[in-house]
Structures are given as C-alpha cells and as structure tokens.
Structure 1
Amino acid sequence: MTDAQRIDTPQGRRLAYHATPAKASDGRPGVVFLGGFKSDMGGTKAVFLEAWCARQGLGFLRFDYSGHGESSEAFTDGCIGDWAEDAEFAISHLTEGPQILVGSSMGGWISLLMTRRLADRIAGLVTIAAAPDFTEDSMWAGFDKAQRLALDMVQQVALPSEYGEPYVITKRLIEDGRDHLILRDPVPLPFPVRFLHGTADADVDLSVALRLMERAEGADIQLRLVKDADHRFSTPENLALIGAAVDEVLAAL
C-alpha cells in the first residue's frame, strides 16, 4: 500500500490522506469517505470503498481528521467543529467536481454538515450508522452527576470503549458539539440519499436513524435497516450493501 500524502490546513493542522483519481473523465462524481469517532482511514469500510471505486473507475478520497490516524494533533484537542473544518478543507482542495459522501457513524454527522457548507459540490449521500448530535443526545444526555462534575472540574471524563482504550471526552467536545447540532431543524437533502443502519447496533440507537429520516427533506431518501448488523457494519455482506448503495446513488443521478 502506498504511503499517505499530507496537506496542511489554514488552521495549521496536517491531514494525511489517500486520493485515487478517476480513470475516465466521464462526468461521474467522485466518492469521499468520512470516518467515525476515533477511527482512521485504514479501516475496513474505507479500504473496501477505495477498491470498489477503483473497479468502477471512480475518483476516491479517504483521509484522517486531525487527532486521528496519521494526521497531526492530539485526539483530545479536537472537536466536531475542527473535524468539520478538516473535512471541508479536504473535500475542497483534494477533489474536483461533484462528490458522493459516504459517512460512517460520526462521519455521518460530518457529511450532513458538509451538505450545508459545500452544497454545490454534493451529488449524493450514503450514511452508515449515522450519529448526528451524538455529543449532546448520547454522551451528555447519558452522563451521570459525577461525570458532569468531572467535566466541569477537570475538563474531561473517560468512557469505556469496546474498540480499545477508553474514550477521553472533553468539555470542549461537548460544548462545541452544541454549535453543530443537526436534528433540531429540517435537514434539506436535495439529492439521492441512502441511510444504512443495523438493527444490532449497540452504539447508535435505531431511534437516531428514524429521527434523521423524519428530519430529512428530499425527493429520493431511503432508510435501509439491516437485520443483525452491528455498528461496525463491516461483514462482507454489509460491505456489499455499502457498494450497492453508492451504485444506486450513481444510477439515480
């Protein structure tokens, strides 16, 4: 596998990325993968999509937010606003023309923010276990009195994780998240959209997908529930569904 390339953002952060050019200039949009909270661009879904797009001759971009993977900065220094800035910069400077965004978990939230900030560049959207507003509706809402006190006193709290070391959640992450909430208002999505969600997802409740579907406004929006799929959504069958969803969006354009 080739080494990641690097690009510096106006905020002084250095992002690592892999970009694959389209094989033909046939006017089809490229694909951008937006990863999840504390995940990186070397994950199963990102690498699968890169290979899938290569077979289709589509341009493809995967990258690490600051504080993630191979990019600069510490994870605990970041927040939704920083990572959205990273995504906006990466899409603006590392892709050309319209793009289909594929957002996984937190990347679903980031991709929804991009549909507002880069409206003229977004041709379609696929989300996988999208987790908009999770800092407020999942983390903050689930904190007990002691955890909320810890945030005030020491500016952070550690949460257990099934994916490795505990997540260190900072007060800045929670407070900044409130500036980027999506589900309090209608979510205009005037292009083909496919939301994918597993019924066995223990990290993002199915109610989040239903609330997103309720808020979403557009002529071609579908929610696909996959029985027994978990939050990783990375079995061969699940990966094939992601490819099929991108294919559907392409066909609908």
Structure 2
Amino acid sequence: MAKGVVPDNHLNCVAAARSMALQHADVIVLLGARLNWILHFGLPPRFRQDVKFIQVDICAEELGNNVRPAATLLGDINAVTKQLLEEFNERPFKYPSDSEWWKRLREKIKNNEERSKVLALQKSLPMNYYTAFHHIRELIPKDCILVNEGANTMDIGRTMLPNYYPRQRLDAGTFGTMGVGLGFAIAAAMVAKDQTPEKRVVCIEGDSAFGFSGMEVETFCRYNLPILIIIVNNNGIYSGLDADAWKEVLKSGDAATVCLLFLSCQIHTMRK
C-alpha cells in the first residue's frame, strides 16, 4: 500500500537499487514496515551489522521485534510524520545529492534499469515477463488501482509496473497468500464505482494465482464491475512448461507435478 508514496519516477526513489540501499544504509526509518521475512528480519547480510533502525508503528507489540531499534515512536504514522516534518522545518537536514553514496546508488539504478530494458525489448515468443509488463505499463492509466498477484507475475511486476500515487497497489503482501487478487479487485472496484467512477481497476494475475479464485469473474459480471483482468499464462508456477516438456510429463504418467498447469488452457474463455 505504501508503494507510490514516493513515486517510482521520483529522483529520490531508489526502488531500482533497493537491495544495495538496504545493505549499505547506516540508518533506516521504518514507517509501519515490519522486520519480517520480507525484510530478512533486519539481519545481515541484507543489512549492515551496525545498522540503526528507527521504528514508527501504531502497534506496541511490533516495536523491537527481531532487532532492537535505536529509537521507537509509538503512534499513528500520519501524526508522527507530521511531527517529524515540523521538527525538520526547525532543524533542516539535507544529505548532499553529489555524495559518493548517491553516485553509487544512481549507478546501480542505471545498471538495473538497463538490464530490465534489454529483457523488455526482446522479441522472442512467447514473451518473457519483462516484455509483457513493458507493453502493459504503456497502456494502463497511471492513476489506476493496480492489483498484482502471482509468483513471478507479482515479483517482477513490483519492478516493472510503476506506482505514482499511494494506496493504488494491492498484492499478496506479507503472507504471499495466493487467491486474494480477485477479491481485492472486487473491493477496489466497488469503492471506485461509488466514489471515483472514472478510476480503472486493473488486475494482473499469474495463471496459477487466478486459478485459486477464478470464479469471482462471475461476481464481476453480476455487479457490472469495471475491472480489467490481464492473465500472464505460462502454464505453471514460476517457469511453467513448453509443449515438448509437457509431452515428457505425460509420458511419465505424472500430470500432477507440483508447479505445473495444463498446457495452453484457454483461461480467457471464462468471460463468455
């Protein structure tokens, strides 16, 4: 939900060099983020051994989990950040934009973006994730509510599908719970239909993630909800299979192999 608070195209956004930024930062301010598995519990090698955490959270029981913070602030993030900004106005602090740290981060951002661009511009068929997302992001509205769910579909989507506004992205989150995407899309569309009817809800699903709750398409139709569903179908979870590999699976007599789905299942025909 916080993705987009700092727009992905902002000069100070380092999402494209996230791992490097976290690994070498000496101070990290956590605004509601929890030091769970997504942030490697705040431990090396993801973070420096001597990193200092400043933790802001509305739940007292979350303060100090896994790592002892250098400072804790218990309260609503909106109220606490306003107080911090007031303090900054009185005692301004600015880190030099031409520092060696910024130079290293910008170099890493540039390298990562160039690598993604090379993958995105490949013309091989079937398309890879980067190519598919490159074309999708050129077509969907910048202010749409984006629901993104799957394995690679969600992981690579976080990188390739930029957010420009807060509270515009919904995905499986902390627990990686597959099957929540269509329910999220329904809830978002109901609110948008009532409050901002011009706003689009775009649901980008992996084929396996879609399979967990695919019959919610009927709910879309019953309530006439303006939801666009895009399914990235690779016949499985993560890598999937091509036609030749699928034939070999059938020869083995084990079509129930984990992470595989039926080859070329015409999921899109459900809309009929």
- Please confirm whether the aligned pair reaches a TM-score higher than 0.5, indicating the same fold: no
Normalised to the residue count of structure 2, the TM-score between the two structures is 0.31
Instruction: Considering fraction of residues, name the structure with more strand.
Output: 1
- Which structure has the larger Rg over C-alpha atoms? 2
Normalised to the residue count of structure 1, the TM-score between the two structures is 0.32
